[in-house]
Amino acid sequence: MTSMTQSQLREFKMPDVGEGLTEAEILKWYVQPGDEVTDGQAVCEVETAKAAVELPIPFTGVVRELRYAEGTTVDVGQVIIAVEVGGSGEAPAPEAPAAQPAAESGEEAPKGRQPVLVGYGVAESSTKRRPRKAPASRPEPAAAAVQAELNGSAAPAAPAAPAPVVPAPAAPAGARPLAKPPVRKLAKDLGVDLATVTPTGPDGIITREDVHAAAAPAAAPQAPAAPAAPAPVPAPAQAPAAPVAAPAPGARETRIPVKGVRKMTAQAMVGSAFTAPHVTEFVTVDVTRTMRLVEELKANPDEYGLPAGMRVNPLLLIAKAVLVAIRRNPDVNAAWDEANQEIVLKHYVNLGIAAATPRGLIVPNIKDAHDKTLPELSASLAELVSTAREGKTSPGDMQGGTITITNVGVFGVDTGTPILNPGESAILALGAIKLQPWVHKGKVKPRQVTTLALSFDHRLIDGELGSKFLADIASILEQPKRLITWN
């Protein structure tokens, strides 16, 4: 009776999760009225103009009202959810004897928190998570279906759920499995459906160990499938186009709202195209030796002192070639400061990789790529690709880029004239690598050939500097031993 009189309604407002952005779209609610929530639990996924993030709620209680429906764009500062909590800021728990010692233990109250991106953790909480009521219908987030298709691991993941031999199911039918945001991110990275995981944590919470245990049986069937993907140049973050609703019978037009990442991309591209004077140069190059080196590094990593399991692909060597060419031509790595009328030479390289995702084009970048060894660069590329495919690239990962690579060849395109990412000095487009007749050592032979296109800001890079930079990249790809001799 006392807990009821002390209860109060707490309102959670849309935070600024996009570094100064003024609005966000609610993509998916993870809770419904009547559900119990705990401090730090993700209650919804929202999309800003820069990225999709999960929002953790900063208190514990019972959901009473969702103020906005999925698909609604909400201004920062507007109340999006109301939760009934106890007078002390904790949920009333008269029926939870296990929670009593925790309340009397004198533990320090949780420190202040701020909204965080999925997978990057939240402040610790002294409250214990309790099972939530299962709503009548709770579809899994749409991103799960996209991730399953991209990873190609949805089918093998099913056997990882040992339902017939587990005494209790992982979660009631229709309920969202209990797991903290970092654990959910790990499950997505490994292609594990949380609904199939048996929880071992307190009060039915899925732990990291549970996810790893569920992923282990699925790893074996995936191993033989690796050689079955013979892509000449893998996409940096290839993803299917965003689904569009089927047009009504007889409809002559379909209108698609422009918002979120796609809206920001459109604005940025218009601004870049009409601000920076673009120049594009092209070179066609024989990359047979580079492709041969890729295969050698894959087959014999120990011979080259590379760690086992390191991902080697043409994009990795192309990225390294760009970094070496920047070292030889440092003036290309610059930015234009309009306010101060200055050219800012940058002594670091944040290497951008253009990525096509279901939410539109994004350009995350590898911070301080110039300082990374080949294995470190490989690991950074793999992490960037995985995060971009999930649609979970953080705003910080897309800021501060200096030079970008875009792989149009994965779509079978020979070349293009890419538009600069705003604030950057150059962007390199990699065309399709394919066998073509080529004069090699005085004879016409079939060779692996591609066309590179370099667009650059002519305020920063003149024709001579741009030509030297592009020629150096081409020379390295033609003779990859220059990665060592020029380094």
CA–CA separation, 43 and 347 (whole Å) = 42
Rounded distance between C-alpha atoms, residue 437 and residue 385, angstroms: 33
Burial of residue 401 (number of CB atoms within 10 Å: 0-12, 13-18, 19+): buried
Residue 139 DSSP label: P
Strand ranges in 154-212 using DSSP code E only, listed in sequence order: none
Structure tokens at 361: 């084009």
CA 36 from centre of chain: 29
Determine the residue type at 270. V
- Tell me which residue has tokens 């992490």: 383
Q: How far apart are CA 315 and CA 232, in angstroms?
A: 10
Host H or E run for residue 46: strand 42-47
Strand pairing report for 355-357 and 36-37 = unpaired
Distances in Å between the Cα of 170 and the Cα atoms of 11, 35, 203, 273 are 31, 18, 11, 52
> Do 476 and 318 contact (CB within 8 A), yes or no?
no
Q: Report the first-to-last Cα separation within the chain, whole angstroms.
A: 74
Single-letter code of the amino acid located at 300:
N
Residue 371: CB atoms within 10 Å: 11
Return d(Cα 8, Cα 16) in angstroms, integer: 25
How far apart are alpha carbons 70 and 137 in whole angstroms?
15
What does the alpha-carbon distance between residue 408 and residue 50 come to, in Å, rounded to a whole number?
22
Burial bucket for residue 167 (CB in 10 Å: 0-12, 13-18, 19+): exposed
Q: Which pairs with CB-CB distance under 8 Å and at least 24 residues apart come from 17-20?
A: 17/46, 17/48, 17/53, 17/55, 17/115, 17/117, 17/395, 18/48, 18/49, 18/50, 18/51, 18/395, 19/50, 19/395, 19/396, 19/399
**C-alpha–C-alpha distance, residues 409 and 432, integer Å:** 4
Task: Quote the tokens at residue 218.
Answer: 């699925």
CA atoms within 13 A on the CB side of 391: 29
Q: Which of 212, 347, 440, 458 is catalytic?
A: 458
Distance CA 324, CA 484 (A): 9
Residue 440 designated active-site: no
- Alpha-carbon span 196 to 187, nearest angstrom: 11
Side chain identity at 286, as an amino acid letter?
Answer: D
Catalytic positions: 458
